[in-house]
Amino acid sequence: MNLLFDSFWRAVAYCFRPRVMLLSVMPLLLMLLLALGFRYLYWQSLLDWVTQLLTTSTIMGTVQGWLQGFGLASPTAFLAPLLVLLAVMPVIVVVSLLLVALLMTPALTALVADKRFATLERKNGGSLLQSLMWSLMSTVLALVALLVSVPLWLIPPLILVLPPLIWGWLTYRVMAFDALAVHASRQERREIFRRHRLALLGMGVVCGYLGAAPSVIWASGVLFATAFMVLIPIGVWLYALVFALSSLWFAHYCLAALHALRIEPTPATVEPVTPPDIAVTDPQALPLHHEPKPSDPPNQ
C-alpha cells in the first residue's frame, strides 16, 4: 500500500516537469498540423460535396424549412461546415492521441528510470512488436468480456462495477507491460504481475475513471456547437495529461517493484548455516562410538 501511494504522488509531481508538460501539449500540435493539412488539401472539396448532398436531400429540405422558421437565413451554409467538422475531428483526435501514446509511454518510462533507477539493469524482456501484440490481444479480450457481460448490465449495481473492472484490467495489462518492457525480463514481468495483480488492477480502474473526465468535455463540445472548437482541444489536452499521469504512475510502481524484486535474497545467495563446533574437551559432548568387541579367544 505504501508503494501504491508513493508512486501516485511521485507521478503527480512529475506531471509538472517541463518535459511532461511538453508531451501533453504534443497532441494539440499534431491536431493543428493535421487540421491545417486537411484544410489545405480536402476541405473545400469535401465541403462542396456535403453542401450538394444537403441541397438535394428531401429530408434536409424539410429540416432547412424548419430551421428557417427559427430565423436561420441559410441553414446549408451553417450545417455543411458543422457536419464536416463532426466527421473529421474524431479521426484527427484519435490519430493524434495514438501517435502521442506510442511516443509518450517509452519517453516517460525512460524519464522515471533515469531519475530514480539509473543503475537498474535493462534486460529487454519485451520488444515493440511484442508490446503491440500484447496490447492488441488484451484489447480483444477486453472487448469480448464487455460483450459477454452486457446482459449483466441490466442489474443496476453491476453496470457500475463490470465496465470499470474490464477497462481497468485492460489499462493495467497494457501500461504495466510497457513500463517493464525495457528493464524486466520475461520471468520478472510475470512475477511482478503475479505479486501485484490486485494493486495494478486498482490502478487501472482509477486511471479509467480519470480518463472519463475528458470524454464528458468532448460530449459537451458535440452538444454545444458554438463551443466545439474550444472544448474539444481542452478535452484532448486533459486526456493527454491523464494519459501522462497514468504512464508515470505505472512506471514508478513497476520499476520500484522490479528493484525490490532484484534485491531480494535468493536461495543461491544465502549461506548455509553450519552447526557450532563441539568442544573436544567435553567428553560428554563426543558422539558415542561402539567399538566392535574382540571375539573370544578359542578354547585351549
The amino acid sitting at 100 is V
Q: Place 78 in a pLDDT band, splitting at 50, 70 and 90.
A: low
Three cell numbers written together for 256: 520500484
pLDDT beyond 80 at 254: yes
* Residue linked to cell 462495477: 161
In the three-class reduction of DSSP (H, G, I as helix; E, B as strand; rest coil), residue 70 is classed as coil
Environment class of 132 (CB within 10 Å of its CB; exposed 0-12, middle 13-18, buried 19+): exposed
Q: Place 63 in a pLDDT band, splitting at 50, 70 and 90.
A: low
CB 169 within 8 A of CB 142: yes
Q: How far apart are CA 180 and CA 166, in angstroms?
A: 21
Is the pTM higher than 0.75? no
Which one, of 300, 277, 293, 251, lies nearest residue 11 by Cα? 251
pLDDT (0 to 100) of residue 300: 45
CA angle, 245 as apex, 34 and 158 as ends, to 5°?
100
In the three-class reduction of DSSP (H, G, I as helix; E, B as strand; rest coil), residue 184 is classed as coil
pLDDT tens digits along 145-178: 888 888 887 777 777 788 888 888 888 888 899 8
Q: What is the mean pLDDT of residues 71-88?
A: 67
Task: Report DSSP letters for 283-298, one per residue.
Answer: GGGSPP--PPPPPPPP
pLDDT beyond 80 at 136: yes
Q: How far apart are CA 122 and CA 158, in angstroms?
A: 42
* pLDDT, mean over the chain: 77
pLDDT tens digits along 196-248: 999 999 998 898 788 766 656 555 554 455 555 666 677 778 878 888 899 99
